[in-house]
Structure 1
Amino acid sequence: MGLFLLWFFFGIGVIIQLIYLLVIFGRTAWFKSFTNSSQNQIPAEGVTVLVAAHNELQNLKVLIPKLFQQDYPKFDVMIVNDRSTDRTKRLLEEMMAIYPKLRSVTIKYTPNHVTAKKYALTLGIKVAKNDVILLTDADCMPTSDQWIRKMTAPVRENDKIFSIGFSGYEVKSTLLNKWIQFETMLTALFYFSFGLWKAPFMAVGRNLCYRKSFFLEVKAFKGLWHLEGGDDDLFINQYATGKNTSLVIDPEANTTSIPKESWKEYLIQKKRHLNAGKYYRGEDKRKIGLFSLSHALFWIGALGLLIYFGLGQEWEQFLIVLGIVLVRSFLVVWAFKSASKKIQGTATPMNILVNDLMYLGYFWVLGTISYQSKDIQWK
């Protein structure tokens, strides 16, 4: 009976994993970009780049000049100074004297019934000058001077409500950074691949565009005010469809963030991100859950069978299982490297096979803790 269950787990895991790797994730791995021929024919619509910042003095010193290097004719930058206790307000006053299109609003306190970042974003969006809103974070940098143009093009030119982009992390040589690169790419594979299949369900607020008018019309954070996270993925989860949403897969449309330097800081961050997942629609929870379940079944079955046949010296069966494991490993490496090249323009180092095994503990242990946690905070 035990051997049967191992084969059963292994078989189910193999089938579902192949579907994800070849059919679903393959949509991103095989993605071919196209050029919008109308780009130079449609008059440029105004864009507001919006950043909510809490004690981000050093990052804003770098970000603000970088934003004003963008090659786009009509945009302004709105910095929401959210309860900062450093010199952020003074810096913004100095910067506004240099950059006439820089604007700011200061928040001195957050009402009790709302969470800090949603309140900051809502206030910033309400006072934004333009209808097209492009969101990023204070520690994020555009990867090119075409970021505004390319990220907002689907909203400005193709009548989309949402435009979803990629935000990666700076590459470092540490084990933590390689894990961050792996997990970030896996997340991107989920939201880009399902988005390309006309079933978008999440995004990252570090690189997201939508219309102010739609945000205000639907009272975007209605029902979400009490949740610390989810200002990006839960908003998308509620309102994005295959018709009103576009994916921007282009290395020039990305942003790059500063990665966490310690496992403790990283786990606190991911705990907040994973906590928001329990509020997804049921069908969207299943998109991630089915992959993670089949991933666990595959490795439980594979390792169990390899140990069983190895101890019993049944080498023919052992080699069959090992061969299937190697084939899946090849497909995992292919999917991640191909997707990375399409999305980032290069295959970022990420210890793919080692981190694929680590994902077992990450999802089932940290995911369970995050799901049950009630002490989630932004800043």
Structure 2
Amino acid sequence: MYPYLFYLFIIVTAVNVCYYFFFYRFAFAKANTTKALSKNLNPALPPISVIVCAKNEAENLKKHIPKLLEQDYPEFQIVFINDASSDDTEEVMEQFALSDKRVKQVNVVNVEAFWGNKKYALTLGVKAAAYEHLLFTDADCVPATSNWIREMARGFSQEKEIVLGYGGYEKVKGSLLNQLIRYETLFTAVQYFSYAIGGKPYMGVGRNLAYTTNLFYEQRGFINHIKIRSGDDDLFVNQAATSQNTTAIWNYESFTISKAKKSYRAWFTQKRRHVNVAKYYKWTDKFLLAIFYSSQLLFFLSAFLILFTSFQWEICLAIIGLRYLIAWIAVGVSAYRLQEKDCAWFFPLNELFLIFFQLSIFSANLISKPNRWK
């Protein structure tokens, strides 16, 4: 038994290390990522329609709309979508729309066929947009700088119609939960940025994502997954993105920042929705992601069993150390680039927690399915 366990350990470790080497694509990509991915950037900076969908976000809108309006960009509008809110969201939007001509308000009334469906609300917002180029964020997000629109817009060109950005979370000092959430967000970004650079884009995050109306209508919007409550961001990217039409921007000025969940239960519920959507990805993307997560889990299990049995433990310990060194470099350099350096210091513990956290989510989703987007 012991030799077979040792061979299994060697195989899964090799597979896992290959993935971390693949993540070096992001960690060590050129600083100007848009040049690395597209040589023909649009120097004219096209007019942009910023799309913000909000459901019961009156307080966040009061704080964040001024930041959006302060963006340093020659021509843009903000399309606010009130998704059947029950608080003062509609009134807050209306006040800003009356005082600034760049603000457009769309009020969504729930219909039975699309009850509680964010994709229906977003579709109405896209149709109301005045410009071809769209930039999406959430009502609880705020641009990291006044150059957010400018930096994201740099990714567009005649060839590039999808721009992937980074949506980070505000740091809360002394909060273990906050660090775990930011680590999970960091690691997800490392994956989708690396895949995009490698010519295999598979997802993006709605907190910071841009694409064109031409592409939206070409893909028939969200019609292929309109009945799936979540996935307005990653399912659309998974469906529409190619190596030719997708680029990524990840310098700090292009970031958006939002507040993370304050309880494990709320975060767990949020991630259940996200993970449940992944089963609708293209089969090649699901296969590659499944192999990676399986290699992580099997690495820990086989390493533990090998060390516990004392079979070839010296060699195994050296392999474990080498694997951690390779993985730590990938995560550490990436964390530095995404302004999440503190998450890298506790990488081994964060990684172990995330593996079993995801396993618990998969198990929970087998029992029941999350439905509403909010």
TM-score calculated relative to the size of structure 2: 0.93
Question: SS of 2:349's equivalent?
Answer: helix
1:149 — aligned with what?
150
| 1:199-348 correspondence runs (5 A) | 199-309=200-310, 317-342=312-337, 344-345=338-339, 347-348=341-342
* Equivalent position amino acid for 1:378 in 2: W
- The unaligned stretches of length 5 or more in structure 1 are none
Further displaced range: 68-77 or 27-36: 27-36
Distance 2:307 2:124 in 1: 57
TM-score calculated relative to the size of structure 1: 0.92
1:159 — aligned with what?
159
Deviation at 1:185, TM superposition (A): 1.3
Further displaced range: 169-178 or 202-211: 169-178
* Equivalent position amino acid for 2:5 in 1: L
Alpha-carbon spacing, 1:265–1:25, altered in 2? closer, same or farther (3 Å): same
Deviation at 1:160, TM superposition (A): 1.1
2:361 — aligned with what?
366
Alpha-carbon spacing, 1:148–1:372, altered in 2? closer, same or farther (3 Å): farther
Question: Do the aligned partners of 1:115 and 1:225 also contact (CA within 8 Å) in 2?
Answer: no
Question: Do the aligned partners of 2:70 and 2:146 also contact (CA within 8 Å) in 1?
Answer: yes
* Equivalent position amino acid for 1:349 in 2: C
Further displaced range: 189-198 or 344-353: 344-353
* Equivalent position amino acid for 1:215 in 2: F
Deviation at 1:75, TM superposition (A): 0.2
Question: Do the aligned partners of 2:182 and 2:340 also contact (CA within 8 Å) in 1?
Answer: no
Question: SS of 2:142's equivalent?
Answer: strand
Distance 2:317 2:264 in 1: 33
| 1:105-120 correspondence runs (5 A) | 105-113=106-114, 116-120=117-121
Deviation at 1:8, TM superposition (A): 2.3
Question: Are residues 1:5 and 2:13 paired?
Answer: no
- The unaligned stretches of length 5 or more in structure 2 are none
Further displaced range: 139-148 or 258-267: 139-148
Per-residue CA distance 1:308-351 (angstroms, 9 max, x = gap): 11xxxx7xx32322222222222222211201222x24514352
Distance 2:114 2:73 in 1: 38
Deviation at 1:303, TM superposition (A): 0.5
| 1:1-150 correspondence runs (5 A) | 1=1, 3-22=2-21, 24-34=22-32, 42-113=43-114, 116-150=117-151
* Equivalent position amino acid for 1:5 in 2: Y
* Equivalent position amino acid for 2:360 in 1: V
How many residues are paired up? 368
Alpha-carbon spacing, 1:348–1:147, altered in 2? closer, same or farther (3 Å): farther
Question: Do the aligned partners of 1:12 and 1:298 also contact (CA within 8 Å) in 2?
Answer: no
Distance 2:196 2:367 in 1: 28
Alpha-carbon spacing, 1:373–1:223, altered in 2? closer, same or farther (3 Å): farther
Distance 1:87 1:360 in 2: 40
Distance 2:141 2:71 in 1: 14
* Equivalent position amino acid for 2:297 in 1: A
Question: SS of 1:210's equivalent?
Answer: strand
Deviation at 1:100, TM superposition (A): 2.1
